[in-house]
Structure 1
Amino acid sequence: MHHRNTLFPRLFVLAIFCVCLGAGLLPACAPAADDTARLVKVLDGDSFRVTYRGSTLEVRLIGVDAPEYRQEYSRKARDFTRDFCQGKGLRLEFDKDPRDRYGRTLAYVYADGVMLNEALVRAGLAVPLVVKPNVRHAERIRQAEAEARQARRGFWSKGGLDMTPAQWRRSHPRK
């Protein structure tokens, strides 16, 4: 008899707790679903697929433009991105616009506390690309380009690319 008298109040308190937790009125005890992204496939220097929160996303790096497929330095940029991301937990940082016009997720991507977007430009394998309103780290990326130019890294060893990736896309339309 005593068991029945204490069971109902305990269930009632548990139910109230669950309702408050589900409504966001109480902090979750356990961390949210895994916020670490994992590389699935590199598409080119500035875009790739990851698994993130149980889904596969195509990510486009914010603030950078890497050489296009069959353009000079495209393989080096792709390989740099692959080596940077492979086998590591990636942290995605979002800016104001979460997606581009193609539906890709726009992000700054970090591994071991280092931002890929900035590292790619610093290595001389991508150029800054400012697309408003996603400009949170534009100055930081611009500084990385100045450093790459001065140190003559990547394509800056020969004075830059023959064509920017944007010029390449315009002169080599996809069929």
Structure 2
Amino acid sequence: MKKWLSIVLTVVLGVSLLTGIQESAEAKAGSKFSVKLEKCIDGDTAQFSKVGRTRFLYVDTPESTNKIEPYGKEASAYTCAVMKKAKKLELAYDGTKKDKYGRTLAWVFVDGKLLQSDLTKRGYVKGFYDYGNYSYESQLHADLKYAKNNKKGLYSGKKSELDSPPVPAKGEKFKNCTEMRKKYPNGVKKGHPAYEPKHDRDKDGVACEK
């Protein structure tokens, strides 16, 4: 009986400690505020209403635009998909609100869940950038350990399915973005044989990006 009581108390104390850590992290970070998604950019960057272009705090996902890195396209596609499906998107500041490029720095919550944690657990985070003492550091380090132990994404030892995009036919043209995305789901960059200025309405060098 004493043994079982000891086990129960240990579990209760463990849950209480974890809850306390999470509550402490939330208390340390700034208050959450609602935003709307305006544009997906890559795995750790997006544009939101009220704050503009936003760099997700602490996490660094593989590149998917200027220099394509393994699992960069998966990270970008996943981030975009979950944010577009979300019923509620929230941000929270944690220290410095802007980086040296003028981008907003914030924690991102998708329907109440920390997106940075989700990306890390799925193996879409290659590392962390540490410019301060952030609220969810301990949680994200535990998430990265989980991804490595369970061979997720970057840590699976498998080649990314999106690392080798289809080879375009010479002079390949598409009538509109709907047609282009059937072959190139994330659009194409300037310099790609299928790139046409008419499909790059925001003039950012990427045609038909999501």
Tell me the TM-score normalised to structure 1 length. 0.66
Shift of 1:134: 4.7
**SS state at 1:158 partner:** coil
Give, in whole Å, the separation in 1 of the partners of 2:75 and 2:131.
Answer: 24
The one of 71, 75, 90 equivalent to 1:73 is: 71
Give, in whole Å, the separation in 2 of the partners of 1:64 and 1:159.
Answer: 22
Counterparts of 1:137-156 in structure 2, within 5 Å, are 137-156=136-155
Shift of 1:130: 3.5
Instruction: Work out whether residues 82 and 110 of structure 2, in 8 Å CA contact, stay in contact via their aligned partners in 1.
Output: yes
Runs (5+) with no aligned partner, structure 2:
1-32, 161-210
Give, in whole Å, the separation in 1 of the partners of 2:130 and 2:102.
Answer: 15
In structure 1, what residue type is equivalent to 2:157? K
Instruction: Work out whether residues 62 and 124 of structure 2, in 8 Å CA contact, stay in contact via their aligned partners in 1.
Output: yes
Give, in whole Å, the separation in 2 of the partners of 1:80 and 1:160.
Answer: 17
Shift of 1:87: 3.9
Give, in whole Å, the separation in 2 of the partners of 1:160 and 1:145.
Answer: 19
1:10-48 C-alpha deviation (Å, 9 max, x unpaired): xxxxxxxxxxxxxxxxxxxxxxxxx42111111110001
1:95 alignment partner in structure 2: 94
Residue 63 (structure 1) aligned with residue 58 (structure 2): yes
Give, in whole Å, the separation in 2 of the partners of 1:86 and 1:134.
Answer: 30
What root-mean-square deviation, in Å, do the aligned CA atoms of Structure 1 and Structure 2 show? Answer: 1.9
**SS state at 1:95 partner:** coil
Identity %: 27
**SS state at 1:108 partner:** strand
**SS state at 1:149 partner:** helix
Return the structure number with greater relative CO, CA threshold 8 A, min gap 6: 1
Residue 111 (structure 1) aligned with residue 110 (structure 2): yes
Give, in whole Å, the separation in 2 of the partners of 1:61 and 1:160.
Answer: 25
In structure 1, what residue type is equivalent to 2:38? V
Instruction: Work out whether residues 62 and 134 of structure 1, in 8 Å CA contact, stay in contact via their aligned partners in 2.
Output: no
Give, in whole Å, the separation in 2 of the partners of 1:134 and 1:98.
Answer: 14
Instruction: Work out whether residues 70 and 159 of structure 2, in 8 Å CA contact, stay in contact via their aligned partners in 1.
Output: no
Shift of 1:127: 2.9
Runs (5+) with no aligned partner, structure 1:
1-34, 162-175
Shift of 1:160: 9.9
Alignment: residue pair count: 124
**SS state at 1:86 partner:** helix
Instruction: Work out whether residues 60 and 129 of structure 2, in 8 Å CA contact, stay in contact via their aligned partners in 1.
Output: no
Give, in whole Å, the separation in 1 of the partners of 2:129 and 2:47.
Answer: 22
Give the 4+ runs in structure 1 shifted more than 3 A. Answer: none
Distance 1:48 1:134, change over 3 A: farther
Give, in whole Å, the separation in 2 of the partners of 1:84 and 1:37.
Answer: 15
Instruction: Work out whether residues 124 and 154 of structure 1, in 8 Å CA contact, stay in contact via their aligned partners in 2.
Output: yes
Give, in whole Å, the separation in 2 of the partners of 1:159 and 1:62.
Answer: 27
In structure 2, what residue type is equivalent to 1:65? D
Shift of 1:159: 7.8
Instruction: Work out whether residues 61 and 107 of structure 1, in 8 Å CA contact, stay in contact via their aligned partners in 2.
Output: yes
In structure 1, what residue type is equivalent to 2:102? G
Give, in whole Å, the separation in 2 of the partners of 1:159 and 1:98.
Answer: 37
Structure 1 stretch displaced more, 145-154 or 85-94: 85-94
Tell me the TM-score normalised to structure 2 length. 0.55
Give, in whole Å, the separation in 1 of the partners of 2:145 and 2:131.
Answer: 21
**SS state at 1:41 partner:** strand
